[in-house]
A and B are shown apart, each in its own frame.
Chain A
Amino acid sequence: MHPTAHAPSSVRASRLDLEPWYLPIADEVALFEAAWQARLPVLLKGPTGCGKTRFIEHMAWRLHRRDRAKTEALELPLLTVACHEDLTASDLIGRFLLSNDATVWQDGPLTRAVRSGAICYLDEVVEARKDTTVVIHSLTDHRRVLPIDKTGELLDAHPDFLLVISYNPGYQSALKDLKTSTRQRFVALEFDYPAPEQEARIIAHESQVDRARADILAGIGQRVRQLREQGLEDGVGTRALVHAGALMSRGVDSRRACEVAIAQSLTEDPALRQAIRDICELMLP
């Protein structure tokens, strides 16, 4: 019996053969490249749906695919772990599996990235159990080592290894906030929603909707975000606007598309939903 590759649904390994499209908003690309060259771990902050995950995919492609010879390129340059409340340190580091009549060690996604020199992206890291944040401490300072208690191994990180975490400050409760001692280890890149013109370009590209309707969707997004103080802490993400555009480009009526992709998905507050519905109806032809 061979140990099966343990790949929980929360882990995604990306080959990134094609360039993930990303529209730079400010200097985040240059900053990330500089951080990577210095091997500084990076913290991506920003509201949901503003493009953090797409950004890291694009950067992984850029650093491991575009800027490298094929012979040097990693098979899996990016390992993404969607953290959740049941995620333990073992899920990141690895575990023993049964194989024939023995147990065999199976690396977790973090260990694999540390060995191979890939980028390990821990999405919404504060959602994970507390013990997970402890294991990243030794990886994010000058030591760059990963202690694996179960095997007694002290794994030196590959020179190309980079740890990136994401964090949504407005979304977390006080209990789930990142500890200062953890935060200070990272270079923090703050993301926000793009300006309307840029956001319209993104919507048009991603959803294949025509530019006129993409402009309207960006306008809707801009206005709905004015309601952040009224119970929509995260506003509406570009992702939700892209979803609305994707429905439109597939023949769904514009109002109906906005209803299901924006108004219904954002809130259960009837007044808030009505206000969002009004915004959509006023702006759509």
Chain B
Amino acid sequence: MSARPAPRAGQHLRALSLLAEALSGQALPLALTDHHPARVGVCPNRRGSRGEWVLVLPGSDRGFPTEAHWRRALRLSVLRASLLEAYRAPGTGPVSYAARDRRPRLERWLEQLLERSWIDARIPSRFPGARQDLLELQRLTLMRLGPPPRGALRRLLQGLARDSLMRSSPSLSQPGEDDWLALLCEKARTVRAADATLERCHSCAAELYDLLRTRFPGSRTRLRQLGIPVRPAALDHPPSTPQTRRANLAEPDATDTQEAQDSERPESFHSPSPRPSVADTPIGQARTSDRPLQGSVGATQAQASSDAPDEAMAREDKHACSPPLPDPAPLRSRYGAGAGEAVGVYLIDEWDCHGKQFLPAWCRLHEIRLRGPDQDLLAQVRERHPELARRILERFAALKPISHRRIRGVADGDDLDPEGVVSAMIDRLAGSANDQRAWVRRERRDRDVATALLLDMSASTSLSLPDPGPGQASAGGAAPAAPAASLATRAIPGTRTTTVQGALLYGFYDDSPEREPEAPRRRVIDVARDGLALMALGLATLGDDHAIYGFSGSGRAQVEFHVARDFDDPWQQRALGRALAGIEPRGSTRMGPAIRHAAAKLSRRPAPQRLLILVSDGYPQDIDYGPDRNDEGYGLQDTAHALREAQRQGVVTFCVTIDPGGHDYLKRMCAPDAYRVIEDVHALPEALSDIYVRLTSRA
């Protein structure tokens, strides 16, 4: 019997987050723990350091009878958390809750237990479909609670947890403890009454805490004797005052924030300490996608703002509490004289998926005119790929419309159509009905498409490629062949790169004894540049409005938006060739602001059909793309949001990636028919033209 593959919780997380938002009426960031199944349902869900709800559930269906059971348990957990958020008074949302609550951990644990008990009592009537799930999860939880633990307090707490899950009172079979447990349970059950409020849960938790404190008085030594771990630092706490009265049992510890997160553990009596988080920063709700500042690259924030319109100044003041953008390094000091000419600076918002809000004017985007060595790059590309260039130009020429079309057989038009009139008369004489469609209309059928090609120019595109196979000698191979040139990881320039899953070691190509020394290897960026050049030739043939952009950067203060050709530029082959020759790998991949800027340019075009094609080689990544550099989710969410914003502006978006692992993240960012993963980098130029033809053939 083969083992069932464990599904990943991440696959369900977006749907669950959406469910939470629908149920609670607010964005509710979720995270899943990877707890042992024994803890499932025992520990209340808790708040993470960023205010997110951490669902205490295993990240896979391990320990559940079926995946469906696991999925329903996740759903129920989301329901509990969402309802609590919906009931919670304004101003006590997850952020303030997590950051400001300095009460002893035991009291908070009791409160969370009672809140769960309270919400469980309300679920069956409000969400009848969850009743069976609730019973099953409660049964599963009871089964996994195990025998009473050592230590009187632990036994009492476990008994209380049992009582919150079942209707009959649990028994501890310990002399004296049953009476205590009965007393605690009696109080705890009051929160299940129909008229109980959430405030009642909180006051009841305080009462239970006081009772336990009465039952277990004394020093920390006494607590240790009861089997309760105590942190030594807490012993130094000053004597109790009215404000710190409850600190006898649990002292706040400001040093161990990780420990503080484990609030679901009743054995660990330490209050959480506030931890700085992104969500703690006051952030306004307003947003503007694309606001130009008339500054220059290298200008400081103050300089840029001083040149901006009043509205922009007011906006800066409004969000003055946001962390200021650091001064960017001058472009030319970063990339040398060939970096191009800066033409404008823009402040762009960014979507914070944790706070579920826009960070206004978060990124400084520098628009730069690309300028490379003076060469006729377009002619060179045609020479390099003669067959492919011919095919692409022919396909594009075939799209070229007839300027006017006469449509016959319409009910109204410019002229009567003699054939239609004769036909109508014959029909009439024959006694049959006719539909009077005897007119002809001349319609102009111009294509009216505006397209922006946006290329990821990050450093990873400097990766050298192995030679294409014999059948792909001129990058004109029709079918994407074996993934000989596939990429699986982002490469650091100058290092040997190893794929993680593809088992293809790029660096080893250089060591191959069969390979003769030859001209410098072509890189990903070179193939992409050729693709853009061929597209430019095809679009010029077709006469479609188009622009060619690239993006790179280093941090939010230095997002670079490179312009090879803008929409209103005259089409000059040599000038475009020179600009395309300036495309070189540099910096990182902050996709969101580049997409927003390109979409803003597109949205100003008069064409009814606007298309943004993003070409990248990996997932969004930057040094400060989100509070945690290793958190891929932040960049993905921002990029996905930027794509949705573009779509709302009437821009059709399409993502092309040459990363074979692209399916994993692109499906989180785009609709299934709005992206394509290209296994073979050499197939990129032809794939681009295919995509363009497909997307615009109905224009």
Which A residues have a C-beta under 8 Å from some C-beta of B? 1, 3-4, 6, 88, 90-91, 95-98, 173-175, 223-224, 226-227, 230-231, 233, 268-272, 274-276, 278-285
Contact = CB atoms under 8 A, between A and B. Distances in A.
A159 to B, nearest CB: 30
B412 A233 contact: no
A14 B355 CA distance: 51
B608 A175 contact: yes
A285 B131 CA distance: 8
Nearest to A3: B436
Given A97-B436, A98-B424, A268-B671, 14 more contacts: A6-B411, A98-B438, A175-B608, A175-B650, A224-B22, A226-B22, A227-B21, A272-B15, A278-B75, A279-B19, A279-B22, A282-B127, A284-B128, A284-B129
A6 B25 CA distance: 49
A90 B25 contact: no
Interface string B608-621: 10000000000000
Nearest to B433: A4
Contacts of A96: 412
A95 B412 contact: yes
Nearest to A224: B22
A283 B411 contact: no
27 contacts: A3-B436, A4-B433, A88-B412, A91-B412, A95-B411, A95-B412, A98-B438, A173-B649, A174-B603, A174-B649, A174-B650, A223-B23, A226-B21, A226-B23, A227-B18, A230-B21, A269-B671, A271-B14, A271-B15, A272-B18, A275-B15, A275-B19, A276-B22, A278-B75, A282-B23, A284-B129, A285-B129
B19 A278 contact: yes
Please classify how large the interface on chain B is, using the bins under 10, 10 to 19, 20 to 34, 35 or more. 20 to 34
Contacts of A271: 14-15, 18
Contacts of B411: 6, 95, 97
B515 interface: no
Contacts of A1: 428
A98 B608 contact: no
A278 B128 contact: no
Contacts of A91: 412
Contacts of B650: 173-175
Contact of A285 (B14, B128, B412): B128
B129 A98 contact: no
Contact of B75 (A90, A231, A268, A282): A282
B206 interface: no
Nearest to A275: B18
Given A95-B411, A223-B23, A231-B644, A283 B14 contact: no
Contacts of A173: 649-650
A244 to B, nearest CB: 15
A101 B435 CA distance: 16
B172 interface: no
A269 B671 CA distance: 7
Interface string B119-148: 000000001111000000000000000000
Nearest to A99: B436
Chain B binding surface, main DSSP class = helix
Interface string B7-26: 00000101110110111110
A4 B129 contact: no
User: Chain B CB within 10 Å — which of A4, A271, A282 has the most?
Assistant: A282
Interface in B1-44: 12, 14-16, 18-19, 21-25
B18 A230 contact: yes
B15 A278 contact: yes
A130 to B, nearest CB: 11
B481 interface: no
A45 B606 CA distance: 25
Contacts of A224: 22
Interface string B407-444: 00001100000000100100010000101101000000
A90 B412 contact: yes
A88 B410 CA distance: 13
A230 B649 CA distance: 15
A228 to B, nearest CB: 10
Contacts of A281: 129
B404 interface: no
Contacts of B428: 1
Contacts of B15: 270-272, 274-275, 278
Contacts of B608: 175
B21 A283 contact: no
Contact of A227 (B22, B127, B421, B648): B22
A98 B21 CA distance: 60
B293 interface: no
B436 A226 contact: no
Contacts of B606: 175
B455 interface: no
B79 interface: yes
Contacts of A4: 433, 435-436
Given A98-B421, A271-B15, A271-B18, A282 B129 contact: yes
Contacts of A270: 15
A270 B12 CA distance: 10
A86 to B, nearest CB: 10
A159 B588 CA distance: 67
User: Chain B CB within 10 Å — which of A90, A269, A274 has the most?
Assistant: A274
A195 B428 CA distance: 57
A233 B645 CA distance: 11
B545 to A, nearest CB: 14
B568 to A, nearest CB: 18
Interface in B210-249: none
B438 A283 contact: no
A279 B23 contact: yes
B127 A283 contact: yes
Q: A-B pairs with the 3 shortest C-beta distances?
A: A173-B650, A275-B18, A285-B128
B18 A282 contact: no
